[in-house]
A and B are shown apart, each in its own frame.
Chain A
Amino acid sequence: MHNRIKELRAKFDFTQQDLAKKVNVRRETIVFLEKGKYNPSLRLAYDISKVFKLKIEDVFSF
């Protein structure tokens, strides 16, 4: 699974900590997501997409 979290985070000027707090996960989880070491749950994918005001498929893709 690929994602645009790093790109979108830079665009919205969020740090990893900011994003982690917004979606209520630990900073390590955001690090793992950005490195492609973790495939998030549907709930987390939805929450992250919501923060960036995008659809899930605009943030995550296969």
Chain B
Amino acid sequence: MKKLFFPIFLLSGVTVVSGIRIYQSGIGEETKILFISEILHMIMIAILFIMGIIYGVKRIRSKEEGFPEDDELSKKIIRKSAGISFYVTLFIWLTLLFVNSFIELDSRLIFSYGFIGMSLTFVITWLIINSQGIKDA
């Protein structure tokens, strides 16, 4: 748990901070802000979308080959990923709220980065647990 927490929190933190930095770097140039911000959003959403497709295809193939779509291991991996990512995303939201108290940000931007950060955190956690295995849950 401790080993997982720091890389995940670091990645999520970097995502949020880099988003805010990009937003700040474009202050005064509205078109540039929208352009960079939207590209960043599109990249993140594309990553999530591709991961979703890969996961869906794996499930369909598994079913076609006569295996269950979900078994005890896959359910435990999802449960553990959800638990860890929930814990990490609490800090993401707190960081966003903290930053917002110093820098005035568009509320839509805060929510979009928050939600994308949540989704990315879950995907990253799932990938890490899926590669490391699960022994204690």
Contacts and interface: CB of A to CB of B under 8 A. Distances in A.
Given A26-B62, A29-B73, A38 B135 contact: yes
Contacts, number: 44
Contacts of A29: 71-74
B67 A21 contact: yes
Contact of A25 (B68, B132, B134): B68
Interface in B54-107: 62, 65-68, 71-74
Interface string B95-132: 00000000000000000000000000000000000001
Given A38-B73, A44-B72, A25 B135 contact: no
Contacts of B135: 1, 37-39
A26 B132 CA distance: 17
Interface residues of B, number: 14
Contacts of B67: 20-21, 25-27
A61 interface: no
Contact of B72 (A17, A21, A25, A27): A25
A32 interface: yes
Interface of B: 62, 65-68, 71-74, 132-136
Interface of A: 1, 17, 20-21, 24-29, 32, 35-41, 43-44
